Structure 1
Amino acid sequence: MPLTWFSKETIAPGTTIQLNETSWTIVQKINEHKLQIDEAGIIPGWVGYNYPSYSCVLLLVHLKHDRRVTSSAFMRIYLQVPNEGTEVEPSRTRAQQACEFIPPELKALRQFTRAQSAYTPRLLDYRVGKQDESGLVPHGFMVWMVWEKVPGNQLGDAIGNSVFWQLESEERRQIRVAFEAGYKYTIPRVRNFADKIYRDLLRNGFEPSFGSPKNLAWDAERRPLYFVGFHDCDTTEGEEWTPAEFAVYSLAIPPKSSRWYESEWEEDFSTWEY
């Protein structure tokens, strides 16, 4: 697998990309994720997932002709790539793999934005297109999407470091209150600003697949809690609040002997660290 599937010309700083309604200029590349299925249509190590082969790159961008910090946003480009083992096959062979694909991330942010969710990033624009005859997968999908940078700081990073546990205990409590109040979307008596946070996620059908502190952004000044990082996301039909969600997002630490993750576990949170 190559280090990158994107040409320098495609993602070079200064390159302008036209989406459905707006134009964006690339500032820098942040990261790239690759997912290739084998010739049998299986993703090694992934059970129950049905995705085509693709690579996606995350970019920092700003509106064309507007370099203000407030115009900065994130762009992700999804590019269909050849299945593993077919990278050097003739273009007519690779073209047989071409398909349409709407990333779950785009579905999630589009739904949140339509519902006017105040606690997830707004989708600013997107475009769905196809590669030309010279593409890696001729006529294969190519999807661009841009969403806003929300205020605040993420409570963790991709390698497990948690800012959350460096905060004072009172601020950690406030974050848990905001998190819980939003999750309890079925309890109408909750009226403060936080009652929409997790309710928005569940009502609109999506949440990050592998919840962790990096999926939470906390604005310490204005106190909203944002859910971010929907590159991998799941549907949420039928889910209800349980304090065990604190452990899922590393907002509380259960004792090592606790089996809080099992469905038959008798809930006892008295020995958890908060």
Structure 2
Amino acid sequence: MLINNSRDSFPFIHLIRLRIPSVLSDLFSIIIPLSNHLFTRFFTMSEFDSRFIRRLVGTKVTTFLEFDALQQPSAVSSSASAASLSAAPLGASPPRISPLAASPSAVSLATDSAAAATLNTATSTTAPSISLSGSPPLEIGCSWIITKKLSENAVHLTQKDADMGCGPPMAVGKFLCYLEEDPTRIAFMRIYYQIPITGTEDADLATLAQQIQPPQVCGELEAFRLLMSQGCSSVPRFYGYCEKQQGEHDLVPGGFVKYVVWEKVPGEPLTAEFFWSLDLGTREDIRVHFRAAFEEMLRCGVKPDMSRISKIIYDQSTGNVRISGFRRGWPIRDKLEWSDTRYVEYRLAKPHDDRDWPSNPQKWKY
């Protein structure tokens, strides 16, 4: 895998550099290569890790949503839910509902109904079932066919890293997929796959079994759940989640495999080159839409993990802007306010070189 070592990969370093005196610039000539080295160490994919990721193209994965059937107009089967999902207009936003109500489920995505739904996770071993009074929520399954690998990387950890609580090592792949019942319904799927601790790749089953951990919270899932529960229209819709155990012939038998599926919205990720090639009026329109989307997301209590322009999905035909990038995202505890420095972080504005650039946005290039 090629590692992007451009300044785009480390926007926070670029921002810090603008804040400090030039006499410290030599220090960053050391820090940046070091950060690139650490990124390469922990996030490159080895041939060993790639074995599972590569063989996923062409396979089928079933993910699940849960919602309260008693709050729906009628009980719906899992096959009907998939049909509803396939009928939903591409790129349509979830209905605007009150903060106390949850987001539309896979069943209600095709309508403008404001019926409340509660998103939860479900394991692959749980069969879809109809909810009766006092029983658990209805679980709706949708099957997805994986068509293309978009990216892959891995978090490699030594035994010392694991003992320090750095979390389990894992391979992570992002894929394109489509709904089995409707090939025109395209979505993204991210797969988290536990891999052995460095140095134990060829260990016996007893050694690998010691690396199995209890189920852990998936930050990306929690971020999507919170956003969907408040009807956030500034992000792609969440389509489902599944967690399974690896088989006896996989890399860590009994280890986790997690699947997260979300909407592929109309538009393309922005690039700095494309954005700055646009006229001033169009750039300003994108900034206005970006701020509105970002503020809605903050009100829902979520912030993306990375400030990259590529996480802004821009539909040139409509001017719509969506924000993505929740792989390492988490619900935020403290309330965050909008700051115009977000424009600089996402490369939608260019600051001047003064140390006090955050205080003088009127000097920025827009």
CA distance in 2, matches of 1:34, 1:9: 13
- 1:82 paired residue number: 196
SS in 2 for 1:125: strand
Displacement of 1:209 after TM fit?
2.0
CA distance in 2, matches of 1:127, 1:74: 14
Structure 2: segments with no counterpart, 5+ residues: 1-44, 65-140
Q: How far apart are 1:259 and its partner, in Å? A: 4.8
Indicate conservation of the 8 Å contact 2:223/2:330, yes or no: no
**What's the TM-score once normalised by structure 2's chain length?**
0.61
Residue 107 of structure 1 corresponds to which residue in structure 2?
222
Cα distance in 2 between the residues matched to 1:176 and 1:150: 19
Task: List structure 1 runs of 4+ shifted beyond 6 angstroms.
Answer: none
Change beyond 3 A, Cα 1:271–1:85? same
Q: Does 1:53 align with 2:169?
A: yes
Name the SS for the 1:60 alignment partner.
strand
Question: 1:8: Cα distance to partner?
Answer: 6.9
Distance 1:63 1:254, change over 3 A: same
Q: CA deviation at 1:51?
A: 3.0
Whole-angstrom distance in 2 between the partners of 1:33 and 1:139: 21
**Using the alignment, how far apart are the partners of 2:54 and 2:346 within structure 1?**
38
Q: SS where residue 350 of structure 2 aligns?
A: coil
Equivalent positions of 1:91-106 (< 5 A) are 91-99=205-213, 100-106=215-221
Alpha-carbon displacement from aligned partner over 1:102-131 (angstroms, at most 9, x marks no partner) = 332222122212221111011111111211
Number of the residue aligned with 1:2: 46
Cα offset, 1:228, TM superposition: 1.0
Q: Tell me which moved more, 93-102 or 227-236.
A: 227-236
Structure with bigger RCO (C-alpha 8 Å, 6+ apart)? 2
* Alignment partner, residue 193 of structure 1: none
Answer yes or no: is the 8 Å Cα contact 1:216–1:228 preserved in 2: yes
Partners of 1:220 and 1:5 lie apart in 2 by: 35
Larger Rg: 2
Q: CA deviation digits over 1:155-197, x for unaligned, max 9?
A: 12xxxx54211211101101112223x2xxxxxxxxxxxxxx2
Is residue 145 of structure 1 aligned with residue 260 of structure 2? yes
- Is 2:320 aligned against 1:224? yes
CA RMSD for the aligned pairs? Answer: 2.3
SS at match of 1:209: coil
Deviation string, structure 1 residues 67-118 (Cα, Å, up to 9, x no partner): 22xx011111111111122222212112111122333222212221222111
Structure 2 counterparts to residues 177-188 of structure 1, below 5 A: 177-180=288-291, 182=292
> For 1:90 and 1:206, how far apart are their aligned partners in 2?
42
Whichever structure has more helix as a proportion of its residues is 2
Say yes or no: does 1:136 pair with 2:251. Answer: yes
- Percent identity, aligned pairs only, is 30
Aligned to 1:19: 63
What CA distance in whole angstroms lies between the structure 2 residues aligned with 1:19 and 1:107? 15
1:34 equivalent to 2:154? Answer: yes
Q: Is the 8 A contact 1:82 1:137 kept in 2?
A: yes
Task: Provide Cα deviations, 1:30-60, integer angstroms capped at 9, x if missing partner.
Answer: 11121112111269xxxx9843211111111
TM-score normalized by the length of structure 1: 0.81
Alignment of 1:192-271 (within 5 A): 197-236=293-332, 237-260=334-357, 267-271=359-363
Kindly indicate whether residue 183 of structure 2 is the aligned counterpart of residue 67 of structure 1. Answer: yes
Label 1:38 to 1:222 Cα distance change in 2 as closer, same or farther (>3 A). Answer: same
Aligned residues, how many? 243
Quote how far apart the aligned CAs of 1:235 are.
Answer: 4.2
- 1:117 corresponds in structure 2 to 232
Q: Quote how far apart the aligned CAs of 1:241 are.
A: 1.4
The answer to whether the aligner puts 1:163 opposite 2:274 as a matched pair is yes
- For 2:198 and 2:54, the matched residues in 1 are separated by 24
Contact preservation (8 Å) 1:38, 1:83? yes
Amino acid across the alignment from 2:151 = N
In structure 2, distance between residues paired with 1:102 and 1:6: 25
Q: Which amino acid aligns with 1:168?
A: D
Indicate conservation of the 8 Å contact 2:232/2:300, yes or no. Answer: no
